[in-house]
Amino acid sequence: MPRPIPLEKIRNIGIMAHIDAGKTTCSERILFYSGKSYKIGETHEGSATMDYMAQEQERGITISSAATAVSWNGYQISLIDTPGHVDFTAEVERSLRVLDGAVALFCAVGGVQPQSEQVWRQSEKYEVPKLCMVNKMDRVGANFFTVVKEIRETLNGNPVSMVCPIGAGETFVGVVDLMTMRALIFDEASHGMTVLDEDIPAELQEQCEEMRAEMVEKAAEQDEALLEKYFETGELSIPEIKKGLRIGTISRNLVPTYCGTAFKNKGVQPLLNAVIDYMPSPLDVGTIRSSDNPDMIREPKDDAPFSALAFKILTDKHMGKIVFIRIYSGTINVGDTVLNSSMGEKGRFGRLFRMHANHQEALEVAHAGDIVAVVGVPKTRTGDTFCSLEHPIVLEAIEFPAPVISIAIRPSSRHDNEKLGLALHALAQEDPTFVVNYDPETSETIISGMGELHLEIIVDRLKREFAVAAEVGRPEVAYRETLRHTVEGAYKHSKQTGGRGQFANVSLKLEPQDPGRGFTFVNEVKGGVIPVEYISAVEKGVIKAMHAGPCGGYPVVDVKVTVFDGSYHEVDSSEFAFIEAARQCFKSLFLKANPQILEPVMAVEVAVPEDYMGAATGSICQRRGRVDGMDDKYGTKLVRGFVPLGEMFGYSNSIRTMTQGRGSFSMVFERYEGVPFELAEQIMEKRKAAGKVR
């Protein structure tokens, strides 16, 4: 079946923003103007169509990145929802991985806020072309030009103003389209559906001409032929300007910048037009590579072998697991059997859907460039690759940050026990930054995530979606353990307890690896001194020991383990004996390898009025932090620094008290660092007393 919409008319985009900048409202308006959502919903009334889960609406934040398809002027736009809260970085990363372009949304009063900076940086990492939208132009103090300046200075972007606001705050009525030099006035009675096309207000004429000249110049700079013509004639036609700007946007040399107010229904349609004019199609994005073989590629063509990436998993009461995939190449039909190449398992796409704001469209077939939901592959994890059976490929996976905070969780009753395990497992499959560990010795389940809010929401979902009642402990820092020296040695496990004995003898070498490298296991055993079938037992034993490290029972990271010697006994050796020998060997060597406990360190930004500067700086230093820089923004002082997460619990209260409610802060995980010696001693003692070190 031929594709209904040509590839060049497909746009897969996301809106990225600081929380509260108006992302949900803006998405709503996009659905409204493109005719798929007939009712204008307000997020504060909790009726936003993009927000899937009940508690998101209650909290007024968007957690999941569901994808919604809309059509605009014959183009198909998939709107991939990205969350604005940094506790959900994984959600942002996974959506950035599959979208082709993004709209960065800013508040016209707040401008570039700490979290918009973080998301901007992430989008640069994934080389995502962007448009900017300065929202909330109706608010008192709104200033388009200040925000444009901040995009340039704080974010290092190259914003090109595409519109000039007409009025600001209460007087904001619309924008001058600098391309056509016409004033677009958005009619309030029709929710902005009717747009009046008027002459430019006289007092803006000169300013708009200057702005337009700048826009044309930047467009010309993107292409030699255009530049030549521009030098010769001093002018470019509208298609030529658009061409230049499109080249510049897709190559990430510039960012077309718009303004409006989603809430008051002004300025949204020009943004939709811009998505079509300047955002890349899957064709512009081009080929995608295999993660382990850079020469193996897939082209965005319908007749290429099928490949797709699972980027989001939702559990639906009626349909079960819904997996959102981005198709990079090929064509897929309902009922087709595909390979989950990340897991090495076959699966069948029982149903295919395109998700719209208020209904699901069942599909028979989906093509390269499409973003669709599939049902029938319940074991899928976020980040898995699907491909055709005949042409296996594993696409570059999505990178996820490590969880930094843990809490103990227990079922409220015996009845909830089993349900809790199943529910946690399901949630962990959906969210790769949410990790569940069960400690059989203490019968404790520990859940770990990206922040307090992240875990709070998970516990909330347990109650709502899975009807599991659970109690949680206090949040604790997710420490890690690692080593600093290379050591090697042997361990012999030998027991004679009547009947068959136990015997295993292994020699291991433990070496530190660069931060983030994780665990590497190498087999250098020669001459079969340990039979091949026991090598995996050695690895199992090492992994078991690394699960709860010898210092404080925390996971061991960034270590290379080599098994290089050993011996066995024909009768008494067993898998169990080798597991045990390797575990003990690792443990004793690790303690000799100058081990270290690692803690998550957060990048913190505190915003306070000038009078509280000293107090804010002091509060960072008191918490074993270091101040990294200071800034001034709208008369507010910003203090930036790095502070260990363990010192940040309860910080929101203390900053409130310290500044009489006038200060605020935000934090993002930065990296793991070694804990100071004295604190490490305390941690180890506490953990030993609690029976966590074995």
Residue with tokens 């443990």: 587
Give min distance, CB of 451 to ligand GDP, in A.
Answer: 17
482 counts as binding ligand GDP under rule CB under 6 A: no
19 counts as binding ligand GDP under rule CB under 6 A: yes
Strands (E), 320-449: 320-329, 331-333, 337-340, 345-348, 351-355, 360-363, 365-367, 371-375, 385-387, 405-411, 435-439, 444-449
Number of residues interacting with ligand GDP: please give it, by CB under 6 A: 23
Nearer to ligand GDP, 22 or 403 (CB): 22
Site string for ligand GDP, 94-133 (x = CB under 6 A): ----------------------------------------
Provide the 3-class DSSP secondary structure of residue 92. helix
Question: Judged by CB under 6 A, which stretch of 40-48, 145-153, 163-171, 413-421 contacts ligand GDP?
Answer: 40-48
Give min distance, CB of 41 to ligand GDP, in A.
Answer: 10
Residues 560, 520: Cα–Cα separation, whole Å: 5
Selected binder of ligand GDP within 4, 35, 39, 42 (CB under 6 A): 42
Q: How many CB atoms lie within 10 A of CB 252?
A: 15
- What residues are paired with 256 via a beta bridge? 160
Q: What tokens appear for 478 in the block?
A: 């997710």
Going by C-alpha positions, the residue among 371, 356, 353, 351 that lies closest to residue 310 is: 371
Selected binder of ligand GDP within 44, 415, 517, 592 (CB under 6 A): 44
Q: What tokens appear for 360 in the block?
A: 């699901």
At 212, give phi and psi (nearest 5°): -65, -40
Nearer to ligand GDP, 186 or 230 (CB): 186
Helices 224-233, 238-250: crossing angle, 10 deg rounding: 140
Dihedral Cα 217, 222, 223, 227, nearest 10 deg: 20
139 counts as binding ligand GDP under rule CB under 6 A: yes
Give min distance, CB of 323 to ligand GDP, in A.
Answer: 24
Nearer to ligand GDP, 21 or 470 (CB): 21
Selected binder of ligand GDP within 34, 37, 43, 65 (CB under 6 A): 43
Q: Which residue is nearest to ligand GDP (CB)?
A: 22
663 counts as binding ligand GDP under rule CB under 6 A: no
Provide the 3-class DSSP secondary structure of residue 122. helix
Give min distance, CB of 416 to ligand GDP, in A.
Answer: 33
- Give residues 245-274 in contact with ligand GDP (rule: CB under 6 A): 261-264
Q: What tokens appear for 633 in the block?
A: 């923004």
Nearer to ligand GDP, 45 or 292 (CB): 45
**Long-range contacts for 244-247 (Cβ within 8 Å, ≥24 apart)?**
244/218, 244/219, 244/220, 245/160, 245/215, 245/218, 245/219, 245/277, 245/278, 246/277, 246/278, 247/222, 247/223
685 counts as binding ligand GDP under rule CB under 6 A: no
What is the CB-side half-sphere exposure of residue 34 using CA atoms within 13 A?
Answer: 28
For 50, 81, 312, 562, 658, the CA distances from 68, given in Å and listed in that order, are: 8, 8, 13, 49, 44
Q: What tokens appear for 446 in the block?
A: 């520990």
- Using an 8 Å Cβ cutoff, are 532 and 504 in contact? no
Site string for ligand GDP, 56-75 (x = CB under 6 A): ----xxx-------------
191 counts as binding ligand GDP under rule CB under 6 A: no
Give min distance, CB of 166 to ligand GDP, in A.
Answer: 15
Nearer to ligand GDP, 23 or 692 (CB): 23
Give min distance, CB of 130 to ligand GDP, in A.
Answer: 16
What is the CB-side half-sphere exposure of residue 26 using CA atoms within 13 A?
Answer: 36
17 counts as binding ligand GDP under rule CB under 6 A: yes
666 counts as binding ligand GDP under rule CB under 6 A: no
Question: Judged by CB under 6 A, which stretch of 41-49, 434-442, 499-507, 539-547 contacts ligand GDP?
Answer: 41-49
Going by C-alpha positions, the residue among 151, 174, 138, 61 that lies closest to residue 104 is: 151
Question: Judged by CB under 6 A, which stretch of 42-50, 289-297, 581-589, 665-673 contacts ligand GDP?
Answer: 42-50
Residues 80, 685: Cα–Cα separation, whole Å: 47
- What residues are paired with 132 via a beta bridge? 104, 257
Selected binder of ligand GDP within 10, 11, 16, 22 (CB under 6 A): 22
342 counts as binding ligand GDP under rule CB under 6 A: no
Selected binder of ligand GDP within 21, 80, 90, 538 (CB under 6 A): 21
Selected binder of ligand GDP within 81, 138, 558, 580 (CB under 6 A): 138
Residues 525, 506: Cα–Cα separation, whole Å: 10
Burial degree of 329 (CB within 10 A; 0-12, 13-18, 19+): buried
- Helix locations, 333-374, DSSP H: none
Question: Judged by CB under 6 A, which stretch of 20-28, 479-487, 543-551, 641-649 contacts ligand GDP?
Answer: 20-28
Give min distance, CB of 186 to ligand GDP, in A.
Answer: 12
Selected binder of ligand GDP within 12, 25, 249, 666 (CB under 6 A): 25
Question: Judged by CB under 6 A, which stretch of 69-77, 95-103, 136-144, 222-230 contacts ligand GDP?
Answer: 136-144
What DSSP character marks residue 556? B
Residues 109, 143: Cα–Cα separation, whole Å: 6
Selected binder of ligand GDP within 14, 41, 84, 101 (CB under 6 A): 84
24 counts as binding ligand GDP under rule CB under 6 A: yes
Selected binder of ligand GDP within 9, 11, 23, 218 (CB under 6 A): 23
Give min distance, CB of 640 to ligand GDP, in A.
Answer: 23
Kindly list the residues in this chain that would bind ligand GDP in the complex (CB under 6 A).
17, 19-25, 42-44, 60-62, 84, 135-136, 138-139, 261-264
